[in-house]
Structure formats: structure tokens, C-alpha cells
Structure 1
Amino acid sequence: MTNDCGCDKARAELEEYLRNEICRTDAADIRAHLETCEGCQSELHVGIVLTQTVQRACKETAPEELRDQLLARLRTLQSH
């Protein structure tokens, strides 16, 4: 990253930063940028909330009764 504001670069690599998928140097540059840029801090917050929401949603399972109803309905539709 360059020594300027770096908003474009920080925002472009934010998802990779959140998943720890960028090199240490770029991560350090983004971290330093985030310390001083409120706009990018806001983007980071949105990214964190979105990531956590998706992670929670992926862990949830449908109630057994709903699963049974869906399977019964699918079987009915397949038999026609």
C-alpha cells in the first residue's frame, strides 16, 4: 500500500483482510490505515457484522418438523 489515504486499496482488500487471506505486510498497511480512516472503519464494521451474520446463519438448522414437511411435499410432487 502507498502512504496516501489508501481507501481504494483498503476497501478492495477488506474481505481478504477479514479472512486473514492477505500477506502480513498488506494486513499491517490496512490495519494502520483503518486506525486513522473513519470511512474505512465503517466499512470494516459492516464487513464484520455481515461475516458474523453469515457464519451464524450457516450454523443454524431447520426444525425437524419443517424438514419432515418439506420431504413429504417433495415426495408428493415427485410421484405426480
Structure 2
Amino acid sequence: MAILTPRLREAKIEIDLDGEHGNVFVLISVANNLTKKLGITTNVGEIMRCGTYEDAVRVFDVFFGEYVNIRTRNPERFTLNLGDN
């Protein structure tokens, strides 16, 4: 017997962070829907509420980057700066 993880059969979801659907509330809603569809037990939406908008986008990308294409004209805004260490 194989245990299968639910997968999204549709094409990747497209989210333009610079558009009307790029606000944090839409991202959290999409995260909550995907969490249910994929059977993820982590409360991703709650994690996304704990930091800045940029943090929320990063968390979203970690959990759902495989299923969602995120577009923006300012990708540098969402990269982590870990310093020169």
C-alpha cells in the first residue's frame, strides 16, 4: 500500500505581489486553502501573521513555492540579507 500526499492537479497558481491580490490577507487566505488541500498540519496562516509582510511572503514561498508562482517587480525586497559573515 502506498500513502499518497494530496497534490494540486491544476496549473500553478499565479500571484502578483504588486497587484490587488498581493496583499497579506489574500496570501493568508490562499495559504489556509492550500494547507487544507495539501493536508499540511502546520498553521501556516498563523506563522505568516507573526512578522512583517516580507516575512509572510517568505513563509508562504517556503511552504507553497512548489504550487504557486509569485511575481513582483521588486524581488530584492523579499531576499534575506544575512550580512557579510
Structure-2-length-normalised TM-score = 0.23
Greater share of residues in strand? 2
Larger radius of gyration: 1
Structure-1-length-normalised TM-score = 0.23
- Greater RCO (Cα-Cα under 8 Å, separation 6 or more): 2
